[in-house]
Chain A
Amino acid sequence: MSEEVTSKKKIDLSAKRIVAGWPSVGYDGENERVREFYAKASGTVKSRTSMFAQKKLADIFIFAMALGKNAGITKDYDKKSDRKDTINMDYIANQPEYLWMMIAIAIEESDGNLEIFQDSRKIIDICERYANYGIELLMEMEGRASTSDPYVGYEEKFDDLLQNLKD
């Protein structure tokens, strides 16, 4: 343990305060399909069988981010103004697993450079770029659903992951 690290660099990693001051997470709000997909999680969808019925924007974002990271493909915004930052970090901090999944991706990308914790914008940028690609895959999975088999795309993906990953 190095006291130097904490005192000189003043890194604040307290679990409770970790997201304080972080900017909101965004997505491609100019893309109509993406916007509508995120809007599904506005809380008004009650009776549908959709995977994301009654879920939050943060749930969709994390799912999309994981899909993008797994594919290893990122996607930038066409232009800066396309970005719609509406997902408050509090929603992500409510589920610490989500926060640490984001941090794990960022720390891996920076090869363990702890300075990344001082630049929350950078953590969010990395995750957003994966989510921008992942959302396309997610919409594809959701699109395969039918009333009688609402999670078909997800089940296939799950099965695929269980077959190809090792303990």
Chain B
Amino acid sequence: MDLESKERLFINKIDIENCGRFYGGGHTISLSNSSEKNITIIIGYSGRGKSTIHDLIYWCLYGEHKKHAEEEHKGLDYGLINTDALEDLSKGEGVTASVTLSLHNDKEEKYLLTRQLKATYIQDSTKREFEPQNNSRVSSGIGFETSAKLIMKNESGDKIIEKNSKIINNEINKQFPQNLSDFFLFDGENLVKFKNQSSSSDFIKDGITKISGLEILDSLMKNSKNTAEKIQTHIGGKSANAAPYSATETRLSAELETLKKEIKNDEIDLLKTQALLNEISEKIRKNKDGSKIISDQTKAQKNKSNASKDLKQNNENIKDMLFEKIPQLLIRDVLQNAEKIFERLENEDKIPPSISRGAIDKILNSNPLKCVCGREFEKNEEEGQPWVILNKIKGAIIEDDLSQGISLGRDLISRIIDVTSMKKLRGDFDNFLEIRREKRRAIQEQDAEIEEFGRQLKEIEYDEQEDLGSLKAKYWDDYTEKSGLLKIKKDELVELNDKWNENHKLLEDALSKEGKYDTEKDKISLGMAVSKFTKHLEKRIEELLRSETQKATSKYFLESAPEKQTFDHVDISENYDIMVKDASDLVASLSKGQAHVLGLAYVAGIREITHTNTFLIIDSPLHNISGIPRNEISEVFSKYLPGVQVVLLVTDTEYLHGDPTGAEPVINILRKNGRVWKEYFIEEVKTKEGIQSRKIEEYNDQ
């Protein structure tokens, strides 16, 4: 992580030629450099090329496609180079697609970066195959070649032209680290994930992993461990003593792999069920009665969850008490006998009395001395006075090992006897049992309420003519069953891991007794040491970053969230679940708008801790958001990202229109706040040759 403060860089201009749906050249967009009017809007109907612009900026910066999964694209005929331009080629002809970014600092143009992909029709071919450079399926008779050019200043301030891709990528990565690109080229679809803590956890984990360089550590750790274990299994197979453990390890490893895959699939399945459940709940909320019942049901579920947590904590308290006190109670009479034996030994002068010089010092430090009978003695150092007598006793005490040891032991034994007072323990234990009964009762009551609300939901007549109540009950049962099964599998995984570890220890023991294979054993020790050290390091970095991300996200969220006063802080758990909590540390449920803002706060938080001081281009920032929440998010854009060059790629519906629920068009809100510099509209046009293309023009609503 780069903690140095970075020079502010922004995109001044984008030029696109023959890319995607943009045929030919002249597709230019200038972006705002104003710190007051810092927002540039690019509006386009769905499918007009907004996401293409977003992805082309990424391609120009790094020479890679942002979405480049072969599986996803192998059936597509639309790629980087405009399809019409590509299809029009005759043998021997070529076409070049290019993107140029003019990147400025606060004084001047710092970089002029051009990335090109040239296609040449080499030979006729009927075969079409996936071409990774173009990111689509193309005729195999076409050849592709990429090139890049970076104009910048050298150390003497002279302009130089760099064409070496490696040097260009290195220079660009210094300014715009690719692993942080999610936080300046952001896909708004990710914001939807923040409605649900578990669906956002992968995104957050991925983010923290990327910014920390943990991927490298993780791979080093796994590789070292795997190599060591493979050597162990290998030489284990050759050693007569270790062979059975080696075979068991191979079998258990395979079982572990299978179970992990099953758990991963089940988790995805559970998330889908949860999404269906949420969808049904949203529909029910549109009905007035339904909305109230759902809210009451959610409250009952929350109460149940709180009672369950209390019950768990109480069980822990009971466990601690039983664990500590049972052994002490079991031998309480023995301890009492030992106390008497020590007393007898003291009377027989075989051990010292249970008194120390320190204890006498404590008495002497109080002036006047107070006797148990109530008399007080002022300090007086005459012969025969208490001060003098006590000092004499102190001098006579020999604090050797014996007296210290016996004093400590007798003290401990009498303390154990004291704290195992039957009356007190009975009272504490009965109290714990009462709490347990009370919490179990509360859970049962809440269960009954939840069921009753479920029944009421089924009785409502919904506009959609669907029996939403029954559907919700069905999905809820489905969800409960699946999460129960998943828990069982996770427990199985823990058990299987235990078995693996236990067997692995036996394998290690058997190998350590083996007289041969010294070189391999050294390699194993080294591999394990590297893995252990890396794991420790990884954990520390991860904890630090998680805590920093949490703090920064919390700060932005509490500044900008709608109804922010109801929240207290944001938590990111060890599993990367992100939760907003109230002052009682209870997880608050978020509206769609608040969840979106949480996502934006996370992006802003990561930008802050990584000192990312550059543009923020968001594709579909209002994805899947309508009504009032859309307006709330617009306020966030206009108020809480001051000075950041913001580019929002929006659809006409989400930007230009209000909706029947009374939401104002976003354009009005942003313009009212005076933060919009320019609005562009992506038009669909036909060229003179009759080819369909796009034209980017300033938006005029007059």
CA distance A8 to B271 in the complex (A): 75
Q: Report whether B322 and A154 are in contact in the complex, using a CB–CB cutoff of 8 Å.
A: yes
Tell whether A62 pairs with B413 under 8 Å between CB atoms, given A14-B401, A51-B319, A51-B322: no
Chain B facing A: main interface SS: helix
Q: Is the interface of A mostly helix, strand, loop or mixed?
A: helix
Contact: A44 with B501, CB < 8 Å?
Answer: yes
Find out whether the CB atom of B322 lies under 8 angstroms from the CB atom of A151: yes
Once the chains are docked, how many angstroms separate the CA of A6 from the CA of B122?
A: 102
Q: Are B322 and A17 in contact (CB under 8 A)?
A: no
Beyond A70-B331, A104-B338, A114-B350, is A166–B318 a contact (Cβ under 8 Å)? no
Contact residues in B for A77 (Cβ distance below 8 Å): none
Q: How far is the CA of A96 from the CA of B412 in the complex (A)?
A: 8
The answer to whether A155 has its CB under 8 Å from any CB of chain B is: yes
In angstroms, how far is the closest chain A Cβ from the Cβ of B192?
32
- Those of B277-330 within 8 Å (CB) of chain A: 315, 318-319, 321-323, 325-330
Asked if A111 and B422 make an inter-chain contact with CB atoms under 8 angstroms apart, the answer reads no
The segment from B196-204, B215-223, B491-499 that touches chain A is B491-499
Chain A residue with minimal CB distance to B318? A151
Interface membership of A47, Cβ < 8 A: yes
CB-defined contacts of A108 to chain B, threshold 8 Å: 334, 337-338, 341
Task: Tell me whether A158 and B329 are in contact (CB under 8 A).
Answer: yes
- B178 sits at the interface (CB 8 A): no
CA distance A39 to B498 in the complex (A): 10
Give the contacting residue for B409; candidates A47, A65, A103, A167; CB below 8 A. Answer: A103
Q: Is the CB of B334 within 8 A of A105?
A: yes
- Interface size on B, as a range, is 35 or more
In the bound complex, what is the Cα–Cα distance between A106 and B349 (angstroms)?
20
> Is A69 on the interface with B (CB-CB < 8 A)?
yes
Given A154-B322, A166-B422, decide whether A63 and B327 contact each other with a Cβ distance below 8 A. yes
Contacts of A167 in B (CB 8 A): 421-423
A142 to B423, CA, bound (A): 27
Q: Cβ of B344: which chain A residues have Cβ within 8 Å of it?
A: 112
Complex-state Cα separation, A63 to B326, whole angstroms: 8
- A residues 27-71 with Cβ under 8 Å of B? 39, 42, 44-49, 51, 55, 59, 62-63, 65-67, 69-70
B350 adjacent to A5 (CB under 8 Å)? yes
Task: Check A13 against B405 for contact (C-beta < 8 Å).
Answer: yes
Bound together, the chains give a CA A47 to CA B492 distance in angstroms of: 11
Whether B332 pairs with A165 at a CB distance below 8 angstroms is yes
A interface residue count range (under 10 / 10 to 19 / 20 to 34 / 35 or more): 35 or more
* Bound Cα distance from A13 to B544, whole angstroms: 45
- Point out the residues of chain B lying under 8 angstroms from A12, CB to CB: 401-402, 405
From A47, which residue of chain B is reached at the shortest CB distance?
Answer: B494
Q: Is A1 in contact with B353, judged by CB distance below 8 angstroms?
A: yes
Complex alpha-carbon distance, A123 and B321, angstroms: 27
A11 at the interface (CB under 8 A from B): yes
- Chain B, 396-438, CB within 8 A of any chain A CB: 397-398, 400-406, 408-409, 412-413, 416, 421-423, 425-426, 429
Interface pair A155/B318, CB less than 8 Å apart: yes
Q: Is there an interface contact between A161 and B334, defined as CB atoms closer than 8 Å?
A: no
Bitwise, A75-102 to B at CB < 8 A (1) or not (0) is 0000000000000000000001100110
Q: Are A66 and B326 closer than 8 Å at their CB atoms? A: yes
**Segment 133-155 of A: residues with Cβ below 8 Å from B:** 150-151, 154-155
Minimum distance in angstroms from A135 CB to a CB of chain B: 13
Find the A residue at minimum CB distance from B493: A47
Would you mind naming 21 contact pairs between A and B with Cβ atoms under 8 Å apart? A3-B398, A11-B402, A12-B402, A13-B406, A14-B405, A44-B498, A66-B326, A66-B327, A104-B334, A104-B335, A104-B338, A108-B334, A108-B338, A111-B341, A112-B344, A150-B319, A151-B315, A161-B329, A165-B332, A165-B422, A167-B423
Known: A46-B494, A112-B344, A151-B319. 5 other contacts (CB 8 A): A5-B402, A63-B323, A107-B341, A112-B345, A161-B329
B positions within 8 Å CB-CB of A: 315, 318-319, 321-323, 325-335, 337-338, 341-342, 344-345, 349-353, 397-398, 400-406, 408-409, 412-413, 416, 421-423, 425-426, 429, 490-491, 494, 497-498, 501-502
Nearest 4 interchain pairs by C-beta: A13-B405, A66-B327, A104-B338, A1-B352
